[in-house]
Chain A
Amino acid sequence: MATSSVSKGCFVFKPNFKKRKISVPVEDYFNKGKNESEDSKLRFETYQLIWQQMKSETERLQEELNKNLFDSLIEFLRKSYSGFQKSSRDWGCQIKLREIPTAALILGVNVTDHDLTFRSLTEALQNNVSPYVVSLQAKDCPDMKHFLQKLVSQLMMDCCVDEETKEGSIQVAQKKTHCSMDSLSSWYTNVTRKTDPKMPRKKRTSSSQWQSPPVVLILKDMESFTTKVLQDFIIISSQHLHEFPLILIFGIATSPIIIHRLLPHAVSSLLCIELFQSLSCKEHLTTVLDKLLLTTQFPFKLSEKVLQILTNIFLYHDFSIQNFIKGLQLSLLEHFYSQPLSVLCCNLPEAKRRINFLSDNQCENIRRLPSFRRYVEKQASEKQVALLTNERFLKEEIQSLLENLHVYHSNYFLVLRCLHQFTSSLPKYPLGRQIRELYCTCLEKNIWDSEEYVSALQLLRMLAKDELMTILQKCFKIFKSTSEKQLGSTAKRIEEFLAQFQNLDEAKEEEDTSGSLSKGLQKTDLYHLQKSLLEMKELRRTNKKQTRFEVLREKVVNFIDSLVREYLLPPETQPLHEVVYFTAGHTLREHLNAAPRIALHTALNNPYYYLKAFATVVTAAEKMDADSATSEERNEIIHARFIRAVSELELLGFIKPTKQKTDHVARLTWGGC
């Protein structure tokens, strides 16, 4: 698409529908122009399946997390609605009735997530409170007229769908031209009167209990509304409140002070504001990570780098769960797209089935995997030969390796959670407060080599008895929740430890001094801890005899240490980890954290990039009639067009030639321009 004009301006291009229809099926993009043999179709299907599962899981999580908030909101709405109904002759009620019940909903600065929250909120309200739920955005309401128009059209649309009356919709069209609060309230009385006898037949049993359900108006982004619109609307609707029961919900991203900043006292005195706070987005992230990544439910895993990039974007840039999940989706897609062996990234039985159908090419791919090569090198020489030459033997071996990988993961997460229980209560959090930090460290390297781990163990050796016991109990629960064979014994061990501690209690230590010492150390700062640590060492040197509690504690810590050393090996040590781990952090960063200024800078420094970009755009635009000319011929034409366009731009003054001396090769090739 191009025009002959070079002037600055907008041109309308009507899309050519004929061309659009020749679309490639999506899974074909997975081919990468290579041969079919790498199961691209299967990979795409697997991707879709896993993504669907992950998506539904996140949606379920979201619902669960929002439930508390929504319940309290609905409770508030119910209460304030019953306030409307209380048409008592009560003294004082006449004055207070003028207040519009308002819920100030603080949602945090992650604006991109709000849409989803509001959508589910609307649904919940429509099911539980009132069919009349309207949500407005600031950009739709620059003034009162648009505000009311939007309100009316949304309300009446809802209602028309409800009643399936055609007359209503015709009226809407007429009324759209002039809608005022008067017409709105008369519409409301009409509708409620009309629907009253019909109500019992409706499905919405809970809302039908109420004769005249209130109208709930959600203002999605309170901050962006102009003062005047809000003010006027609140004044008007408070005057109509007796015939038009309105409830407001303010969506606030920052802090509720914004209400005072937007509304003068005369207006805010018309509202009866109650505050509701949603879950912090960091907690939300923790749950999402917990349910999507720290589990064997989904075979797909992220490498340390990728996880770090995703969490960094979340913590440093936007706090947006939606974006995080998008990033996760992208890495999933990228993994299935770029790694041919990702066909095996599915649940274990299915993967075993698929191994049998692996092509020769794929077997070769497996042999080329670095982790597999390392594994082979460790084997006896006959086995090495067999693995490298015999396909059937290889396939059997892969089956067992995959099984090992699966077991590795299930153990890994259990031990990780257990270790997190221990380290999350330590002062100063040497291994991080959140499990994701611990997970990142464990993914990166052997955690027991790090200084933090050593200091954490030191601190663990100083835990008081009751603390230690609560932690052990939690760990016991973690281990008991699964029925893994190997770790079943671990649960038993922990139980034994617990019993021993209990016995200690019953046996009544004669050495009270040590007990009181350890109890005194419960929570102090690092400096004091180190000091007392030194003291303890001294003490131990002087009288080497330890109390029974100390011996036992030492045992527990050593036990944990051995668990960590055995099960928290970094994934790189596992053969075939490439199948499930996505490692290409740089592509992810390129896609998610683009740097326009840097790109621009490189482009401006080197005209060759211009040319490339130009060529790409032109070929994309003219792709369909590509077959007419050979590629070389086309390249030349594109060059010529590029040079001409550059000189046209120069003539118009958009670009300027540098004073740099032209390279003589370039001068010879390009001539004057």
Chain B
Amino acid sequence: MPHLENMVLCREPQVSTLQALFGERHHFSFPSIFIYGHTASGKTYVTQTLLKTLELPHVFVNCVECFTSRLLLEQILNKLNHLCSSEDGCSTQVTCETFNDFVRLFKQVTKAESLKDQTVYIVLDKAEYLRDMEANLLPGFLRLQELTDRNVTVLFLSEIVWEKFRPNTGCFEPFVLYFPDYSIGNLQKILSHDHPPEYSADFYAAYINILLGVFYTVCRDLKELRYLAVLNFPKYCEPVVKGEANERDTRKLWRNIEPHLKRAMQTVYLREISSSQWEKLQKDDTDPAQLKGLSAYTHVELPYYSKFILIAAYLASYNPARTDKRFFLKHHGKIKKTNFLKKHEKTSNHLLGPKPFPLDRLLAILYSIVDSRVAPTANIFSQITSLVTLQLLTLVGHDDQLDGPKYKCTVSLDFIRAIAR
């Protein structure tokens, strides 16, 4: 299989394991195979290319798209239908409500001539979504071979380990296959593989080497690295295009690209600025510092009282209620300093996160921090609600609790500081 090896890099052991499991076309395979590994470790790609190049009858379903079990089951059946009747060209929509129906319909479909005497593969990508669907779905798929009495194998692809899937009631244990992360050598090999036709493979490999040197410490996601490689390559070629440097002039090229890549790490990689904006910057050769990223726009303009409400909410969230009297009352009497703070309160409240507080406390603090007299008008109350819709405050507890609702302040100290100015 030299062809397959060319297409699938650095995954030889996994491929051979899978091929061994699949066996010959007419062999019964293992009923269910669970493949897991980190993001962009080639799970989907390997399975897909394997099934395609071997020309095995298979159905590929992404579970994210199927937010109900009905959609999932119908999609599998429809695709199967399509698979076996592609010659006829006719396809009817199947309706399938329950797993029971599915098993029945599956039997019907797989009777077809084209699917006879060979293993049918069902691949469920992003299988972790199965856990949120009906409880019988996952165990059902695990022993589909047994239930339908057909030559079928279900492959699960997931980023989560099998232990997190196992239902309480027990189930058929699938064959678990792990896809380890790519090493830096693997990444280098794979990334260098898709070099642009205009430049030599060596030139591109050198570029990838520099890129990995910058980004490997923060990012090992193959997809992301590929994206960054494509995005920044024009800048790398720039001296060559201009004729200032030779393709072999690695040092010069490195000096040109390195600061650029570091800037990219702070902006494009974090999606602070978009790829199109980045490309435009490269073209115009302007300083990226001029273009403000998403996080630069932190300032939120708020109405006068909203600011005070938010500040009051912050104070109420991070100060214990006991101290209110001391902070907000003019004549608060003497407090002994020695045991004023209880022991557990000595840890910073900012580490513990915001605490819920009742509406009345918020209003009381608000009245004391605003200089002029504030009337508790309907506008003030509606402002509190609109702060909740803006996600600056959150309502704690159920929202049908009409008397004495409790809130939490969700903004950070920096935000409050910016507002209070």
Binding site for B on A (CB under 8 A): 79-80, 83, 91-92, 95-96, 99, 101-102, 104, 106, 108-109, 111, 143-145, 178, 180-182, 221, 223-224, 232, 235-236, 239, 253-260, 265-266, 268-269, 271-275, 277, 280-282, 313-319, 593-598
Contacts and interface: CB of A to CB of B under 8 A. Distances in A.
Given A181-B65, A260-B294, 14 more contacts: A92-B196, A111-B386, A111-B390, A145-B67, A178-B71, A180-B65, A224-B391, A255-B297, A257-B297, A260-B295, A269-B224, A313-B379, A318-B386, A595-B376
A143 B67 CA distance: 9
B175 interface: no
B89 interface: no
Contacts of A594: 377-378
Interface string B59-72: 00010111110110
A199 B67 CA distance: 35
B419 to A, nearest CB: 12
11 contacts: A80-B276, A109-B301, A109-B303, A224-B391, A239-B62, A253-B390, A272-B276, A274-B277, A280-B301, A318-B382, A595-B375
A109 B295 contact: no
Contacts of B304: 315-317
Given A91-B197, A274-B277, A593 B377 contact: yes
Interface in B27-43: 39
Contacts of B377: 593-596
Contacts of B231: 92, 96
A180 B305 contact: no
A315 B303 contact: yes
A223 B389 CA distance: 7
B386 A223 contact: no
Contacts of A597: 376
B331 interface: no
Nearest to A593: B377
A598 B376 contact: yes
A281 B64 CA distance: 40
A277 B306 CA distance: 21
B42 to A, nearest CB: 16
Contact of A595 (B39, B223, B378): B378
B67 A257 contact: no
Contact of A268 (B271, B297, B386): B271
Contacts of B65: 180-182, 236, 239
B147 interface: no
Contact of A265 (B271, B297, B376): B271
B303 A254 contact: no
Given A109-B306, A254-B390, A315-B304, A96 B277 contact: no
Contacts of A281: 301
A598 B305 contact: no
B380 interface: yes
A92 B230 contact: yes
B64 A255 contact: no
Nearest to B233: A92
Contacts of A99: 274-275
Contact of B271 (A95, A144, A271, A593): A271
Contacts of A282: 301
B276 A274 contact: yes
A224 B389 contact: yes
Nearest to B197: A91
A317 B383 contact: yes
Interface string B345-383: 000000000000000000000000000000111111111
Contacts of B230: 91-92, 95-96
Interface residues of B, number: 53
B74 A106 contact: no
Contacts of A101: 276
Q: Which 3 residue pairs of A and B lie closest in terms of their CB atoms, listed nearest first?
A: A92-B230, A144-B67, A316-B304
Contacts, number: 151
B21 interface: no
Contact of A318 (B194, B301, B379): B379
A277 B64 CA distance: 33
Contacts of A253: 390
A104 B297 CA distance: 12
Interface in B65-116: 65-68, 70-71, 74-75
A80 B389 CA distance: 31
Contacts of B390: 109, 111, 223, 253-254
B292 to A, nearest CB: 8
A598 B377 CA distance: 8
Interface in B259-277: 270-271, 274-277
A596 B378 CA distance: 6
A317 B378 CA distance: 10
Contacts of B194: 91
A269 B270 CA distance: 8
B125 to A, nearest CB: 10
Contact of B297 (A111, A224, A256): A256
A221 B300 contact: no
A63 to B, nearest CB: 23
A555 to B, nearest CB: 42
A272 B376 CA distance: 44
B341 interface: no
A223 B304 CA distance: 21
B237 to A, nearest CB: 12
Contacts of A223: 389-391
B302 interface: yes
A644 to B, nearest CB: 26
Contacts of B39: 266
Contacts of A104: 294
A275 B277 CA distance: 10
Contacts of A258: 391
A580 to B, nearest CB: 28
B299 interface: yes
A272 B68 CA distance: 29
A596 B294 contact: no
B303 A317 contact: yes
B298 interface: yes
B178 interface: no
B64 A232 contact: yes
Contact of B383 (A106, A108, A260, A318): A318
Given A109-B390, A317-B305, A593-B379, A273 B300 contact: no
B96 to A, nearest CB: 11
A109 B386 contact: yes
B294 A95 contact: no
B303 A236 contact: no
B226 interface: yes
Contacts of B294: 104, 256-257, 259-260, 273, 275
Interface in B234-269: none
A255 B411 CA distance: 12
A106 B295 CA distance: 13
B275 A96 contact: yes
Contacts of A255: 297-300
Interface in B208-223: 223
Contacts of B378: 593-596
Contacts of B190: none
A99 B276 CA distance: 10
Contacts of B62: 236, 239
A319 B67 contact: no
Contacts of A102: 274
Contacts of B327: none
A111 B389 CA distance: 9
B328 interface: no
Q: Which one of B70, B231, B377, B383 has the greatest number of beta carbons of chain A within 10 Å?
A: B377
Given A95-B230, A182-B75, A598-B375, A232 B67 contact: yes
A97 B300 CA distance: 33
B299 to A, nearest CB: 7
Q: Which one of B67, B298, B383 has the greatest number of beta carbons of chain A within 10 Å?
A: B67
A315 B308 CA distance: 13
A550 to B, nearest CB: 40
Given A180-B75, A257-B298, A595-B376, A319 B303 contact: yes
